[in-house]
Amino acid sequence: MKFQLTKLEKSWILYDIGNSAFILMVSTIIPIYFNYLAENAGISSVDYLASWGYAASAATLFVAISGPVLGTLADHKGYKRKLFLAALLVGVICCVLLGFVTNWLFFLVLFVITRVGYSVSLIFYDSMLPDISTPERLDRVSSYGYGLGYIGSCIPFAACLILVLGADAFGLTLSSSMMISFLIVAVWWFAVSVPLLKRYRQKHYSTDSGKSAIAGSFQRLASTFRSIKKEKKTFLFLLSFFFYIDGVYAIIDMATAYGTALGLDTTGLLIALLVTQIVAFPFSILFGRLSGKHKPEKLIVICIAAYLGITVFALFMSTQLHFWILAVCVGMFQGGIQALSRSYFAKIIPAEKSGEYYGIMDICGKGASFLGTTLIGIVSQLTGSVNKGIGVLIVTFTIGLILFIKASSMKEDSSTEKTFSV
């Protein structure tokens, strides 16, 4: 029987298409623009890479700290949609404002706020997954989200790329072309989010009574942290996720900055990363389909191992061709590892606590990203080599792979009851 998406599933997937436009800019054009601002201020390439890494780390650290509380709050009836909208508006509005800032330090501060809005919105968005689909459809729906997000984000990105690379032909300065680009991305991001805002209804929620939502959130969160070690499969998965997603996020955050620091051609870098998005589309869909024939655990292991190989290759990268090879390889496995991790986690947690659990998952994801980008920045500065900075990710992928294999071999936690609606 042919797999068909429901209207609600399509609306949910559209947000992947919307937010992906912003994160694609983060991994491509924005670091290059920041490099332009930093060079004008006399910042060296190594310090530029380190500053960008520290900014990404600051954003992820804030989300890691606040995410679990916000996620737990979102589990209260009627809260998830409202909090999602608030985070979305913070991200969209600040994205527009980025186009009006030319001071490199102020730009970094505003970027951190924008990134926080984006990241927090994803906590609420991911936790909607049990509300919009059924357990047997989660892997494919999640994969379709990432896959269509990759290809859909190419539409506003292509427009921005034409504006930035052809600024002179249009009679624009780099600053003015970036201003228009940020506006395009912001409008796209919000516009494709509207169907989800209209159709989504929270089906699973906390039944806490006699407590304020905020007080109840802190109490529930504290209780979950005390008991989560007893849920061995969930705990070990989160631990493995911390290490392997560290490398994935760090590569996403630092790819263009890394290539720029190596002195690679800017135009070539941007086109290569556009190819990454195009490659990621069919491979994300492919991993979703493969999940119907093979266990998602096996597919996740393949993705982690592939990323380990990619990181080893990055140690020796020095030419444009190397970066192109790297970009294609990342595209093949990026969507698969993110989509399958998201849906796999939804299957092993209680649906009525999805916001809370995805908030905790975000500690692992964003906390790991903080560790990864920070280590890259520190090692790059200490050694004077960006290649050695990237090399630290070999360790994180190896640990993540070992822990995930152990987690996947364990039986599902008996204490974790999942109640999905059809």
pLDDT at 398 over 70: yes
Instruction: Please state the φ and ψ torsions of residue 293, each to the nearest 5 degrees.
Output: -110, -30
* Cβ contacts of 144 within 8 Å, gap of 6 or more: 5, 9, 13, 284, 285, 288
337 in a structural domain: yes
pLDDT at 188 over 60: yes
4 in a structural domain: no
Instruction: Please state the φ and ψ torsions of residue 206, each to the nearest 5 degrees.
Output: -70, 145
What 8-state DSSP symbol labels residue 206? B
120 in a structural domain: yes
More confident position, 414 or 50: 50
> Which pLDDT belongs to residue 415?
45
Query: What is the pTM (predicted TM-score) of this model?
Result: 0.74
- What does the pLDDT average to over 89-118? 93
pLDDT at 260 over 80: no
Q: Tell me how far CA of residue 47 lies from CA of 7, 180, 262, in angstroms.
A: 48, 28, 13
pLDDT of 370-388, one tens digit each?
A: 677 777 778 877 887 767 7
> Which pLDDT belongs to residue 317?
76
178 in a structural domain: yes
Half-sphere exposure of residue 87: CA atoms within 13 angstroms, side-chain side: 26
pLDDT at 145 over 50: yes
CB 126 within 8 A of CB 358: yes
> Which pLDDT belongs to residue 233?
84
421 in a structural domain: no
Report helix, strand or coil for 348. coil
- CA–CA dist 141, 97 (Å, integer): 33
CB 95 within 8 A of CB 114: yes
- CA 110, 116, 122, 128 torsion-angle sign: negative
pLDDT at 80 over 70: yes
Highest mean pLDDT: which range of 2-6, 224-228, 300-304: 300-304
- CA–CA dist 87, 288 (Å, integer): 28
Tell me the residue length of the chain. Answer: 422
- Residue 421: pLDDT band by 50, 70, 90 thresholds? very low
Among 100-104, 131-135, 258-262, where is mean pLDDT lowest? 258-262
* Cβ contacts of 86 within 8 Å, gap of 6 or more: none
More confident position, 158 or 50: 158
* Cβ contacts of 210 within 8 Å, gap of 6 or more: none
- Residue 395: pLDDT band by 50, 70, 90 thresholds? confident
329 in a structural domain: yes
pLDDT at 420 over 50: no
> Which pLDDT belongs to residue 375?
79
CB 378 within 8 A of CB 250: no
- CA–CA dist 65, 323 (Å, integer): 34
What's the CATH code of the domain at 128?
1.20.1250.20
- Domain of 303 in residue numbering reads as 9-202+214-408
- CA–CA dist 378, 20 (Å, integer): 28
Two structure tokens written together for 253:
């955050």
- List the Cα angle 368/370/371 in 5-degree steps: 65
Q: Tell me how far CA of residue 355 lies from CA of 34, 203, 365, in angstroms.
A: 34, 12, 15
Pick from 292, 386, 307, 380: nearest CA to 343: 292
> Which pLDDT belongs to residue 367?
61
More confident position, 269 or 287: 287
- List the Cα angle 353/359/362 in 5-degree steps: 140
Alpha helices in 262-295 (DSSP H): 266-290
Q: Across the chain, what does the average pLDDT equal?
A: 82
- Residue 253: pLDDT band by 50, 70, 90 thresholds? low
For every residue of 44-76, DSSP letters joined together read -HHHHHHHHHHHHHHHHHHHHHHHHHHHHHHTB
- What does the pLDDT average to over 48-60? 77
> Which pLDDT belongs to residue 370?
65
> Which pLDDT belongs to residue 210?
43
Instruction: Give the whole-number percent of the chain exceeding pLDDT 70.
Output: 86
pLDDT at 58 over 60: yes
Please count the other Cβ atoms lying within 10 Å of the Cβ belonging to residue 36.
16
pLDDT at 334 over 90: no
Structural domain tally of the chain?
A: 1
346 in a structural domain: yes
- Residue 214: pLDDT band by 50, 70, 90 thresholds? low
* Cβ contacts of 68 within 8 Å, gap of 6 or more: 221, 356, 359, 360, 362, 363
More confident position, 51 or 399: 399
pLDDT at 60 over 70: yes
pLDDT at 267 over 80: no
- What does the pLDDT average to over 4-33? 88
